C-alpha cells in the first residue's frame, strides 16, 4: 500500500487567487472551478489532493502526473474520487477535509491495483471507449478432449480475460455444454475416438471470418489429432496460436512443419521444445535462447519458450526475455490460459511478436501479483486468468502515464 498526505493553508490559496485570478483556470478542471467558486477552502483541499496523489505516484517510482492532469469529482453519495487524465485510477482512494483554515488530503493506493511498470518492448492494444465486441475481435479455441476437458475452458477463460470481443470454442455435439463459461459461443462438431471431426472443423473455418485460432491445449494424442491440426494449419487465416498437443503433433508428424502458417505463435514448454528440436529438455534449458531462436527460424514462427524468464523469439533472430520468475505459475493449465490470452491480443490487432511479448508479460505479472497477495503455492490457473483484468488495467495506467509525462 502507498500513501500520500498533504496539507494546504486556505488563506494562502485565497491570497494566491487574489494575486493571480487565472490560477484556478490553469490548474483545475472547469467543473472544479465552478464547484469551488467563492469557496477557497474547497480549492485548497483539491490542491492538497493533487499533491497527495503525486506523492503516491512518486513513492512508487511511477511517472508523476502534472497538476492539471489530476482532478477531483464526487461519486454518487458525495464521496470524493481522484481522476488522472480524466479517468479514475483503480485502487486509488482519497479523503478530503478542512477545518480551522487548514485543508488536508490523504491518498491511498492498494498494492493489487498499483500501476504496473511495463518494459518498453511491451505494448497493449487500444481500448477505444466507442469500441464494440467486433472491434476487439474473435478467438476460436480448438482444444479439449474427454481426457482433458478443462484445457478448453482455461484457454477460453484466458481469451475472455485477455479482452477478446467474442470467444468461440469447438465442442462435441453430444456434450455441447462442456463446462465452458456462459460467455463462450459453442461450435458443435461431431467427434469420434476422442477427437473432433476434421471435416466439420474445415467447414466451420471455411465460413469463419477473421477468427484467430488457439489450437492444441488438451487435444490428446489420438490418431486423428494430426489431421485435425493439419486442418487448423491450412485454414487459420487471421492468426494462430499453437500450444501443447498441436506442437506434439508437429513433433510426431514431420509433414506438419511445412503447414505452420507464417505469423503464427508457438508456445512450447522446454519438453515440447525438445521434441520439436529432436533433443532433450536438459539441452534446451542449457541454452534457452539458442533453442528458441532455432525453433523460430526453423518454423518461421514466433516462439514463446515458457519457463522462469520466458523467452520470445522471432524468425529474424530477435529475442526478448521477460523478467518475471514465480513458482506460482508452475501449475497445470497456466499455459492454456497463456495461449488464450495471446490469441485475444492477436484478435485485438496485435501482430504475432507484439501479442507474444504482451501475453507473456501480462500472464507472468498476473501470477506474480496474485502470489504476492495470497501465496506462491496452491493457486489455480483460473485464478491467474481472472487476475488478468486488473493486471491489464494496471499496465495501461503505466503506459498512459509514460505517454503523458
pLDDT values of the chain reduced to their tens digit, one per residue, 405 residues:
789 999 999 999 999 989 988 888 999 999 999 999 989 999 999 999 999 999 998 887 777 889 999 999 998 888 999 999 888 887 789 999 999 999 999 999 865 556 678 999 999 999 999 999 999 999 999 999 877 889 999 999 999 999 999 999 999 887 766 679 999 999 999 987 778 889 999 999 888 888 999 999 999 998 899 999 999 999 998 999 999 999 999 999 999 999 999 999 999 999 999 999 999 999 999 999 999 999 999 999 999 999 999 999 999 999 999 999 999 999 999 999 999 999 999 999 999 999 999 999 999 999 999 998 889 999 999 999 999 999 998 898 778 765 444
Burial class of residue 120, CB neighbours in 10 A (0-12, 13-18, 19+): exposed
Tell me which residue has cell 509433414.
255
Fold exhibited by the domain 138-403: 3.40.1190
Question: What's residue 404's pLDDT?
Answer: 46
Q: Which three cell numbers stand for residue 135?
A: 472491434
Q: Which three cell numbers stand for residue 110?
A: 492498494
Burial class of residue 336, CB neighbours in 10 A (0-12, 13-18, 19+): buried
Question: What's residue 405's pLDDT?
Answer: 43
- In this prediction the pTM is 0.79
Specify the domain boundaries for CATH 3.90.470.20 within the chain: 2-113
Question: What's residue 173's pLDDT?
Answer: 82
Specify the domain boundaries for CATH 3.40.1190.20 within the chain: 138-403
Which residues, including other chains, have CB under 8 Å from residue 30's CB and lie 6 or more apart?
none
Query: What CATH code would you report for 2-113?
Result: 3.90.470.20
- Across 217-258, where does the E strand assignment appear? 240-242
How many other β-carbons are positioned within 10 Å of the β-carbon of residue 241?
A: 36
CA distance 36 to 24: 9
CA distance 173 to 203: 15
CB–CB of 350/371 below 8 Å?
no
Amino acid at each position: 500500500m502507498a500513501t500520500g498526505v498533504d496539507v494546504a493553508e486556505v488563506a494562502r490559496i485565497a491570497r494566491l487567487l487574489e494575486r493571480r485570478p487565472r490560477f484556478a483556470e490553469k490548474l483545475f478542471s472547469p467543473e472544479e472551478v465552478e464547484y469551488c467558486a467563492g469557496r477557497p477552502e474547497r480549492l485548497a483541499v483539491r490542491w492538497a489532493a493533487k499533491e497527495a496523489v503525486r506523492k503516491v505516484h512518486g513513492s512508487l517510482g511511477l511517472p508523476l502526473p502534472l497538476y492539471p492532469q489530476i482532478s477531483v469529482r464526487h461519486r454518487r453519495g458525495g464521496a470524493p474520487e481522484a481522476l488522472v487524465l480524466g479517468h479514475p485510477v483503480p485502487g486509488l482512494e482519497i479523503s478530503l477535509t478542512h477545518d480551522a483554515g487548514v485543508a488536508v488530503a490523504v491518498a491511498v493506493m492498494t498494492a493489487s491495483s498499483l500501476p504496473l511498470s511495463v518494459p518498453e518492448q511491451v505494448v497493449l492494444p487500444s481500448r477505444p471507449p466507442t469500441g464494440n465486441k467486433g472491434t476487439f475481435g474473435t478467438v476460436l479455441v480448438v482444444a479439449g478432449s474427454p481426457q482433458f476437458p478443462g484445457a478448453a475452458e482455461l484457454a477460453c477463460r484466458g481469451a475472455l480475460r485477455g479482452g477478446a470481443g467474442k470467444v468461440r470454442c469447438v465442442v462435441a455435439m453430444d456434450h455441447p455444454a462442456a463446462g465452458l463459461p456462459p460467455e463462450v459461443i459453442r461450435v458443435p462438431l461431431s467427434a469420434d475416438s476422442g477427437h473432433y471431426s476434421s471435416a466439420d472443423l474445415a467447414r466451420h473455418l471455411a465460413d469463419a471470418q477473421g477468427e484467430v485460432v488457439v489450437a492444441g491445449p488438451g487435444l490428446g494424442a489420438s490418431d486423428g489429432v494430426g489431421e485435425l491440426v493439419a486442418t487448423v494449419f491450412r485454414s487459420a487465416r487471421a492468426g494462430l496460436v499453437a500450444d501443447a498437443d498441436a506442437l506434439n503433433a508437429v513433433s510426431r508428424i514431420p509433414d506438419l512443419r511445412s503447414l505452420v502458417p507464417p505469423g503464427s505463435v508457438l508456445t512450447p514448454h522446454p519438453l515440447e521444445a525438445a521434441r520439436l528440436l529432436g533433443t532433450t529438455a536438459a539441452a534446451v534449458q542449457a541454452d534457452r535462447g539458442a533453442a528458441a531462436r532455432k525453433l523460430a527460424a526453423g518454423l518461421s514462427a514466433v516462439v514463446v519458450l515458457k519457463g522462469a524468464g520466458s523467452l520470445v523469439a522471432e524468425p529474424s533472430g530477435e529475442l526478448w526475455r521477460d523478467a518475471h520468475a514465480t513458482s506460482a505459475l508452475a501449475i497445470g493449465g497456466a499455459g492454456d490460459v497463456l495461449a488464450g490470452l495471446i490469441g485475444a491480443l492477436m484478435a485485438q490487432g496485435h501482430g504475432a511478436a507484439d501479442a507474444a511479448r504482451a501475453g507473456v508479460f501480462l500472464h507472468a505479472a498476473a501470477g506474480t501479483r496474485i502470489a504476492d497477495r495470497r501465496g506462491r503455492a496452491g493457486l489455480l490457473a483460473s485464478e491467474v486468468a481472472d487476475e488478468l483484468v486488473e493486471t491489464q488495467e494496471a499496465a495501461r495506467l503505466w503506459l498512459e502515464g509514460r505517454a503523458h509525462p
